[in-house]
Structure 1
Amino acid sequence: MSYNVAAVRAHFPALDEGAAHFDGPGGSQSPNQVADAIAGVLRSAVANKGTVTAAERRATEIVDAARAAGADLVGGDPAGIVFGRSMTQLTYDFARTLAKTWGPGDEVVVTRLDHDANVRPWVQAATAAGATVRWASFDQKTGVLTADDVARVLSTRTRLVAVTAASNLLGSRPDVATIAATAHEAGALVYVDGVHYTPHAFVDMTALGADFYACSPYKFLGPHLGMLAASPALLAELRPDKLLPSSDEVPERFEFGTLPYESLAGTTAAIDFLADLVPGSGSRRARLAASFEALEQHESALLSQLDGGLARIPGVVRYGDPDRTRTATTLFTVTDVAPAEVYQKLAERGVNAPAGTFYAHECARVLGIENTGAVRAGIAPYTDKSDVDRLLEGVAGLTG
């Protein structure tokens, strides 16, 4: 099924402002359907979850619908979908909870490819528990983290491996399935950061081998929120700190305070929108598979256009190996032009391509850009060829 980017773009009112958005990795734009779903909840009678009043039933239906949608998106179980303020908040919560079972002699593996939200919570929790942190690094030239890189730091004392499904800085995609299989052989759990991966690929958390899969709806066209998926049986084994009268049921025991019902409705709407990127039929899960197949082809073509164009501009330095499988994300600098200046000059031309290290602290250190950062251009479902042309023209203008 062909991908009609013009039809997709028509649903995004933010695009009427005229900017070419390459800032999706930091937060995507949202379609009308998401805004309408959020507004619809705020305009309706909603109360705390329950079964007595219409307002209570509406809240319950919103939560149930969001769990079902989230499960369809990642190939999980609705009873194992947890919502929170952000992926960072959820990861801190789960790190503290899991660390209750750790002690001296135990080990936790983190990688230098990851966003700090999948590094620092584990480092801090392990340190507090007296456990040892072991680091897996990646190849500076290619930007690739291999399964062997992780296997070298595994042992029978490893309790958890935290790994990204795609680098938010480079877009490179580790072989998570092989990493997870090796980790499971060692008796470790696997926590996968899917924040940058989920907007670009059809997710099957079981095939990935993820015991926990965390992502952020605002990166895949939805509202600001965090989502985590795990099996209900695994969640039932964990005992988070919680208020005494709050629910002890799974997954509610991990959700502190009243959920943001309007954001949950927006998340469901975003997932439904993704499922209908191309015409199709069948279950939402099946439609998501077809949509992401078409989306990956669309984004791959634009990424080839972007990479090829940047390669022809003198003075542009690209990071990572453009021939390796990655999400539609490119990190680059321009010789003798500070990344912050590139960002500013492109913005003046109506091209939004931010510069920085984007919280990928360890990754930036390995690449040697921790002090200056680099420009990151991310392609999204609403990106078209003219957007890429505008970016390339802007960069070419900086080099004379």
Structure 2
Amino acid sequence: MIGGDKLEFEIRPNPRPVADAERAALLANPGFGQIFTDHMVTVRYAEGKGWYDARVEPRAPIPMDPATAVLHYAQEIFEGLKAYHAADGGVTLFRPDANAARFIASGARMAMPALPEQVFLDSLRHLITIDRQWIPAGDDGSLYLRPFMFASEVFLGVRPAREYLYAVIASPVGSYFSGGVKPVTVWASSVYTRAAPGGTGAAKCGGNYAASLVAQAEAIEHGCDQVVFLDAVQRQYVDELGGMNVFFVYDDGSLVTPPLTGAILPGITRESVITLARRAGHQVVEQPVSLAQWQADAASGRLREAFACGTAAVITPIGRVRSADGEFTVADGGPGEVTMALRQSLVDLQRGRGADPDGWVHRVF
């Protein structure tokens, strides 16, 4: 079937899948993003033809001409979400429709064609079904899904490509940070910024992450786990971490998070946390927070907790903040009560252990 909002996927099982014993050994300690399943999804697009040739096939290298457009002009987007073992033995996805919508929005910003939401959702379902045995057990284990799309046309002109490849790969993962859930130390970069107004900050494209890597290296040099970026205009307001949104918890129980200005990625975990926090009785305000205010509120005791959130790391406490001007600690530097309660609520919901009034949990089977 060619084009349209729904495609028939051709299923080509891997004739040489990883042996059961080898897979079990790999799943015992998968780490993050280092191990991959037996299969992948590919779907092609051509201008005037639409989406076609949808397949589930053995995971393999993607042949690429040296003049493939993505290698020269970085026309590429991606998503990240997880499949979980549910409490009743089934498998769930958390808000995959929101990922599908963000994928379309990212594509629009990068002048790329819209992948129909149903094709996005079907691609996940097919890959999870054929690689179900790769989902790790345990509360920290999940199957990380990486849908991505890039300009596959072979040409060197500066214009939107006319051909694209959409693909999904899967990786069994454990905790994002080694050692499990513990407070992280972040480096506030005064040299590098992540995105500027009118730029691609709200799109989930590879270039945003490439631009963050030198700042992340700077953070590691200073003994920090992650970098936190400030705004590109005034260089004083907190934007987000390299791959996570930020929240602040105050002594009156309220939460504050930087607003979506177009320079910050609209995180699905961020939006979910706002909803869960309000449902738990917390006031949540979206407003700018400067690095100076963060430090002053921590010193006065008004700020009780800070945390970062995203698909990969879920919710992670922030214990310390370092910058070229010094260092400060948030409260006692440990994980906060509100932070950990929100994390538990989110994890329970993702794994089908809690009430789901918003219909966020999608059962694969």
Q: TM-score, normalised on structure 1?
A: 0.22
Of Structure 1 and Structure 2, the greater helix share is in: 1
Of Structure 1 and Structure 2, the greater strand share is in: 2
By relative contact order (CA 8 Å, sep 6+), the higher-ranking structure is: 1
